[in-house]
Amino acid sequence: MTAHWTRADVCVVALAECFRGDGEIVANPIGTIPMIAGRLARATFAPDLMATDGEAALIANDEAFAWPDGRVVEYYNPYRSMFDVVWSGKRHVVMGATQIDPFGNQNFAAIGSDYSVPKTQLIGFRGAPGNTINHATSYWVSNHSPRVFVEKVDVVTGVGWDRAAAAGAAALEFFDLRRVVTNLAVLDFGGPDHRLRLVSVHPGVSVDDVVAGTGFPLTVPESVAETRTPTDKEMQLISEVIDPSDQRHVELPEEAS
Amino acid sequence: MTTSKLTTIDQVVGSLADGMTIGIGGWGSRRKPMAIVRAIAASSLSDLTVVSFAGPDLGLLCAAGKVKQAVYPFASLDSIPLEPHFRAARQAGLVEDVPFDEGMFLLALQAAAWRVPFLPTRVGLGSDLTTLNPMLATVTSPFDDRSELVAVPAFRFDAVICHLNRSDDRGNATFLGPDLYFDDLFLRAAPSRRYISVEKVVPTRDLLEEAGTELRLRVARMMVDGVIEAPGGAWFTSCVPDYERDEALQREYVGAAKSPDAWASFAATHLEAAR
């Protein structure tokens, strides 16, 4: 049986798996491949998830990016309401990261040693401090490299395990940092003192590839699984319903598989 | 006796002074009061503190050299993720940066609107906000939990500007798009100089029909000091359903960040024309 899936499809499934068991909360994956993944999780093994239309509504549609037959609106959710969702903990976000360190501290605000005159100004803190301290958080990194996985981030926007622990009980109470899915692998924070640990490598990727792409010592278990591949039903949902315009291969071109 | 608060952009800009703190409504590159922002950019005002869920409002004012301090949770053009003029100003060290989390920013607006000195939150704990934002402090819960939380101080605005879809001449206003964003909180948070520009001024008796439902009548005249009728007043940012974002013009705006010459040309075309 020849593979009929690509690396992008494997990443979609790996990100969908992040939402397994989450129940009736807002799955809020940010970015192209994560958004497809959230839709896939709901359409298959996590039917209770709620999802945004990217604007001011929670919608029931399986399609990720366009709703030719109209949106099925479940809830009016303007930006202000989103903070009610975030602070009540009813959300699992998947964010991107320009830098991420061994404990899961994330940076997407600015690059450089002097914050007052950054080498590169990025988007800002956005909602990362509030997200990470209030509900489940996972990350999507489409370019697993030592430039992203760094020993120390320049600015802590999203909070990692060590910083949450140091900030006290109120910081840890709802802290729930889960996984990092990249174009190469799935990782979690099951290493010593909640350090980043390799969980599985995507088909065609070696453990050495992941170690080489990580700018700090990575916890590698004795046996590392291969990330599961999409089922036929999942592939049909992804390619025919959720992402028929093939946005996922714009983010992660097909040659990767 | 007139009850009308109709005014002009010149009068609004004339009521502002160097060093003021100005709150700007809208979100990213959506429903920003760009007609007023352009006039500020073309004015002689300087050393402003801009408080905004920022997009081209902050960027344009940075490019025009008006901004001393930026108070913001993000700066984005939505369809173009990063704000090029703000980036340029930051990377040249020209702007003091006061970073916020989005929800924390809401609390600073709400504290101002409710006239309390601060509101407590978990948000910020463990992040670099607590070291990089000099406005923030920590506070200990007076109750049995004794939690250490972040105290978010109320914003102090000298002026607030917002752009809405419809209003009457007294300042009762409505948004017609998907989200009011935080415009009502901005307007409640300022003690004076609360200005709205609108696509169209209509008689009060027509306001409900324009809005379609009472649920969209979210800005009351007691929250507004001046009304400017400014069709197209969100300029290239989106103001649905009146108009979508002008993506071509936004790209032109982004291109103007490439060099001083490109900016000069853009300013001559789009800012001087605003005068």
Predicted structure pTM score: 0.97
Query: How far apart are the C-alpha atoms of A70 and A56, rounded to whole Å?
Result: 15
**What is the enclosing helix (H) or strand (E) of B48?**
strand B48-52
Contact B109, B182 (CB under 8 A): yes
User: What's the pLDDT score for residue A162?
Assistant: 98
* pLDDT category of residue B274 using cuts at 50, 70 and 90: low
Tell me whether residues A56 and B178 touch, CB distance under 8 A.
yes
Identity of the residue in B91, B149, B180 whose CB atom sits nearest the CB atom of A120: B91
Which residues neighbour A209 within 8 Å (Cβ) at sequence distance 6 or greater? A184, A201
Residues of A within 8 A of B134 (CB-CB) are none
* pLDDT category of residue A257 using cuts at 50, 70 and 90: very low
| B115 CB-contact burial (10 Å; exposed 0-12 / middle 13-18 / buried 19+) | exposed
Mean pLDDT of the A63-87 span: 96
pLDDT per position as a tens digit, B119-147:
999 999 999 999 999 999 999 999 999 99
Three-class secondary structure assignment of chain A: CCCCCCHHHHHHHHHHHHCCCCCCCEEEECCHHHHHHHHHHHHCCCCCCECECCCCEEECCCCCCCCCCCCCEEEECCHHHHHHHHHCCCEEEEECCCEECCCCCEECCEECCCCCCCCEECCCCCCHHHHHHHCEEEEEECCCCCCCECCCCCCCCECCHHHHHHCCHHHHCCCEEEEEEECCEEEECCCHHHCCEEEEECCCCCHHHHHHCCCCCCECCCCCEECCCCCHHHHHHHHHHHCCCCCHHHHCCHHHC
Does residue A2 register a pLDDT over 90?
no
User: What's the pLDDT score for residue B2?
Assistant: 78
Residue B241: asked if its preceding bond is cis (omega within 30°), the reply is yes
Does residue B271 register a pLDDT over 60?
yes
User: What's the pLDDT score for residue B13?
Assistant: 98
**What is the enclosing helix (H) or strand (E) of B49?**
strand B48-52
Using the Cβ of B180 and the Cβ atoms of chain A, whether some distance falls under 8 Å is answered with: yes
Does residue A87 register a pLDDT over 90?
yes
Strand ranges in B126-273 using DSSP code E only, listed in sequence order: 137-140, 148-153, 159-167, 173-174, 194-201, 226-229
Does residue A228 register a pLDDT over 60?
yes
User: What's the pLDDT score for residue A1?
Assistant: 47
Contact B149, B122 (CB under 8 A): yes
Using the Cβ of A75 and the Cβ atoms of chain B, whether some distance falls under 8 Å is answered with: no
Contact A59, B178 (CB under 8 A): no
Distance of CA A243 to the CA centre of its chain: 18
User: What's the pLDDT score for residue B273?
Assistant: 65
A 206-225 residues with CB < 8 A to B: none
Of chain B, the percentage scoring pLDDT greater than 70 comes to 99
Query: How far apart are the C-alpha atoms of A186 and B93, rounded to whole Å?
Result: 38
pLDDT per position as a tens digit, A149-208:
999 999 999 999 999 999 999 999 999 999 999 999 999 999 999 999 999 999 999 999
β-strands A185-188, A197-201 pairing: antiparallel
List b or e across A227-248, with b for residues whose CB sees 16 or more CB atoms inside 10 angstroms.
bebbeeebbebbbeebbeeebb
Identity of the residue in A79, A124, A169 whose CB atom sits nearest the CB atom of B147: A169
Of chain A, the percentage scoring pLDDT greater than 70 comes to 98
User: What's the pLDDT score for residue B272?
Assistant: 77
Of chain A, the percentage scoring pLDDT greater than 90 comes to 97
Does residue A23 register a pLDDT over 60?
yes
Using the Cβ of A177 and the Cβ atoms of chain B, whether some distance falls under 8 Å is answered with: no
Task: Output the average pLDDT for chain B.
Answer: 97
Using the Cβ of B123 and the Cβ atoms of chain A, whether some distance falls under 8 Å is answered with: yes
User: What's the pLDDT score for residue A16?
Assistant: 98
Tell me whether residues B27 and A79 touch, CB distance under 8 A.
yes
